[in-house]
Structure formats: structure tokens, C-alpha cells
Amino acid sequence: MKTKLLISACLLGILCRYDGKDNLISQGDLALLKDCFELIPICPEQLGGLSTPRLPAEIQPDGKVLRNDGFDVSTEFQKGAEEALKIARLSGCKLALLKANSPSCGNKMIYNGKFDGTLIPGKGVTANLFEKMGIKTYNEQEIDKLIKGE
């Protein structure tokens, strides 16, 4: 039986990014993941009730998540993280492959909250919750580490 892996749906080619596009990983990486894991797609932002497409959002220094028009979507991001956690628990997932730099899924870096394209160390809302609850997170640049179990 394969290990279950939560994966950001956009990495599988699902059009759920904020701009209505995807972040499809290479066919080689996808084949490798399918060989090693049972993939369980999630999009925390959609799970939180946000539409696709939607305005870009970034985590602010105070922890709030604001769209680029100033509207607070912190509640939706938190709800999406909690719903994704429910899916993880129901399916027995202890690993997640999430979209780098996302305000939901970024596991190492996030945008600085100024909408100027600057990355800073930090975690997205879902990645942060997953790690607090014992789910190990990786991003699409860490597929080799995920496969090796590092």
C-alpha cells in the first residue's frame, strides 16, 4: 500500500491558482510521485470558500491575510487550512507537497505582504498548521527530498 500524500491541486494541473491558472509540475516528477505515493489533491484557498480566479493575497507582518485591494481574507485562509487538515486526518496523511511561496501553502518562503514580489522566510497558513499538527511539508523544489524521506 502506497503512502498517502496531500498535494496542492495546482501542482497537478488543476486550474485553482488565484489567477485561474495552474502550477503543473513536470511529467517526470508527476510520474515519480504517482509511483511512490497515493496523491490526494487539495486547494486550501478553495476549501476556505475563495473563488477562482481571485485577487492575490499576502500575509501581513501582523499575521492577517489581505488581498491586494486591502480586503481581509484571514478567515477564509484559516478555514481552508482547517478543512485541509481534516482531509489529512481522514486520509491518514503525514506528508504534504505544497506550492512554494503561497500564502496558504508556502513552507519556507512567503511574499512580504507589500505585493512587490519580495520573498521573506515564513510559512503559509496551511503549511504552518500542518507542521504544528505533525504533517511534514515539502514544496515542488523539494521533490527529491520527499522521495528520499529526508
Q: Tell me, what's the pLDDT at 78?
A: 98
CB 38 within 8 Å of CB 7: no
Nearest to 31 by CA among 9, 3, 8, 12: 12
Task: Give the cell for residue 132.
Answer: 504544528
pTM of the prediction? 0.97
Q: What residues contact residue 1 under an 8 Å CB cut-off, 6+ apart?
A: none
Predicted confidence at residue 20, as pLDDT, reads 97
Bridge partners of 36, per DSSP, are none
pLDDT at 106: 98
Whole-number Å distance between alpha carbons of 103 and 123 = 7
Q: Using CA atoms, how far apart are residues 145 and 126, in angstroms rounded to an integer?
A: 20
Give, for all 150 residues of the chain, the pLDDT tens digit: 899 999 999 999 999 999 999 999 999 999 999 999 999 999 999 999 999 999 999 999 999 999 999 999 999 999 999 999 999 999 999 999 999 999 999 999 999 999 999 999 999 999 999 999 999 999 999 999 999 999
